[in-house]
Amino acid sequence: MDNRGLEKLDQWLLKYGNDDSILSASELDGYFAAIVSGPRQVAPAVWYSAIWADQPPQWPSDKDGERFMKLAVELMSEAAYMLSEEPDDYEAIFLADDNGKGEKLIVSEWCGGYLRGATVAGWLEQALPESVAAALALITLHGDESGTETLKAMTDAEYDASTAMLEPAAVELYEYWQQNLQPVLPVRRDDAKVGRNDPCACGSGKKYKQCCMR
């Protein structure tokens, strides 16, 4: 995805998001990396709603909702492709901050999004082998408030070394779960069944048959 697409995602997430939703393309990239890494598929209506903390926006037009979904799916597809087909070249979308000493990677948003995605995908709390658990712990260090004091105590060199291991950590988690895929189980729904011609639950404004039903 080019910078123009990422900037557009940033704009939409900030404009239509809320205090608990994903608010940047970097955070969304981490979110999707965890979603596509999990042992089970996550339905589009589920991951879409979770982006907005279950408060999907009312798009001003069908076109806007469709464009957001198209860019979001493109971002998720790129993460899945790189993790599966080109793991040695996998690149997360981190932010950069010029602090006067050169560019420093800002990874907290991506890591926070990753933890949210792992929660939505249902594997964050599952037991992992020691090496894989260490990979998740590294992402948690940078993405959860519990790691704040540890990060503050790091030197610049230690911080840079730590952030350099985040992408390999994401690849290791992806490869572990691909080796431990779980069957898709039927989901019990307590809410009313959505009809083909009903408005889609994702909030796009389109009919269900023209949106997430696909």
Task: Kindly report, residue by residue over 74-113, the tens digit of the pLDDT.
Answer: 999 999 999 999 999 999 999 887 654 546 789 999 999 9
Which residues share a beta bridge with 96? 105
Q: Per-domain residue ranges for the chain?
A: 3-180, 189-213
The CATH classification number of 3-180 equals 1.20.120.740
The interaxial angle of helices 25-37 and 108-121, nearest 10 deg, is 40
Residues in the chain where the model's pLDDT stays below 70: 98-103, 183-199, 201-210, 212-214
Provide φ and ψ at 129, rounded to 5°. -60, 160
